[in-house]
Structure 1
Amino acid sequence: MTTVVAQGTFDILHPGHVHYLSDAAAMGDDLHVIVARSQNVTHKPEPILPDEQRREMVAALGVVDEAHLGHPEDIFVPIERIDPDVIVLGYDQHHDEERLQAALRSRGVDCELRRASARESSDDDELCSTGRIVDRIVDRRC
């Protein structure tokens, strides 16, 4: 059995999230998703939705076997507990793969890193970004 981990913020689920998690699920037998806690999201605006609500929404997706909240202080704790064979990064996630692989090795986690593919869409109006969704809501409601 191949255990796969995907991770992200997953604020306001959209087709890009579904594509990422479907792509990750296809790379193994058991997909675990780690949902970042708001306090650990430092590379973009704080999530709109509460941590547990985001975890619950991800858990409801059929391709996800188990959804976990990230650790409040150490992002590697859930990865160590799950002990994945593969970690799938989103095609546009900001991770430095070499540094991440080195950090995993230093923690005794021996797994493969892969990148998910980008979602292809012919619909110019499709929103695959939480920020763009929020911007559209603000434009239309304010």
Structure 2
Amino acid sequence: MTRVVATGTFDLLHPGHLYYLEESRRLGDELFVIVARDANVKHKPRPIIPEDQRLLMVRALKPVDHALLGDLHDMFLPIAEIKPEIITLGFNQHFDEGSLRQRLRDRGLDAEVVRIPGYPGSLASSSNIVGHILKTREPSPPAGPTGEGE
């Protein structure tokens, strides 16, 4: 049985996330997803959705067999417990594959690292979705004395 691990923040779930997880699942028999802890997300803006809710959403996705929160102090601890044959990275994850492979080997973990290509579409990233909302949703004018916008 081939175990695959996919990791990510999974904030504001969108088709790009689903594509990443479907492609990851195709590589093996069992997909484990490690959802980043709020405190560990430092390479981009803090998640909008709290970690427990992001975990709940990821667990509900069809390609996912198991989902768990990452470790607060050691990102390799859950990977060591799962012992996957394959670890997938999303197209925009900040890991260098060679460096990650070496860090895994240093920990005695022998997993193949595979980068999944991006999903086509402008709204296939959380930051693009937030930008689109900010551009297309005008704030409502304050209510006047009659309760309507002035």
Residue 127 of structure 1 is matched in structure 2 by 123
Which ranges of 4 or more aligned residues in structure 1 deviate by more than 3 Å? Answer: none
Residue 85 of structure 1 is matched in structure 2 by 85
Preserved contact between residue 23 and residue 117 of structure 1 (Cα < 8 Å): no
CA–CA distance in 2 between the matches of 1:63 and 1:97?
24
CA–CA distance in 2 between the matches of 1:9 and 1:100?
18
CA–CA distance in 2 between the matches of 1:83 and 1:46?
29
Residue 50 of structure 1 is matched in structure 2 by 50
- TM-score, with normalisation over the residues of structure 1? 0.93
Question: Does 1:22 find its partner at 2:22?
Answer: yes
Provide structure 1 residue ranges, at least 5 long, that are not aligned to the other structure. none
Shift of 1:38: 1.0
Provide structure 2 residue ranges, at least 5 long, that are not aligned to the other structure. 140-150
> Of residues 132, 137, 141 in structure 2, which corresponds to 1:136?
132
CA–CA distance in 2 between the matches of 1:60 and 1:141?
32
Give the direction of change, closer, same or farther, for the CA distance of 1:117–1:68 in structure 2 (3 Å limit).
same
CA–CA distance in 2 between the matches of 1:95 and 1:132?
21
CA–CA distance in 2 between the matches of 1:47 and 1:24?
23
SS in 1 for 2:18: helix
SS in 1 for 2:98: helix
**Identical amino acids, percent of aligned pairs:** 51
| Partner AA of 1:22 in structure 2 | E
Shift of 1:141: 4.5
Residue 63 of structure 2 is matched in structure 1 by 63
Q: For residues 76-101 of structure 1, give each alpha carbon's deviation from its aligned partner in whole angstroms, at most 9, with x where no partner exists.
A: 11101101000011122111111111
CA–CA distance in 2 between the matches of 1:51 and 1:102?
28
SS in 2 for 1:42: coil
Give the direction of change, closer, same or farther, for the CA distance of 1:57–1:103 in structure 2 (3 Å limit).
same
- TM-score, with normalisation over the residues of structure 2? 0.88
CA–CA distance in 2 between the matches of 1:97 and 1:119?
19
CA RMSD of aligned residues (A): 1.1
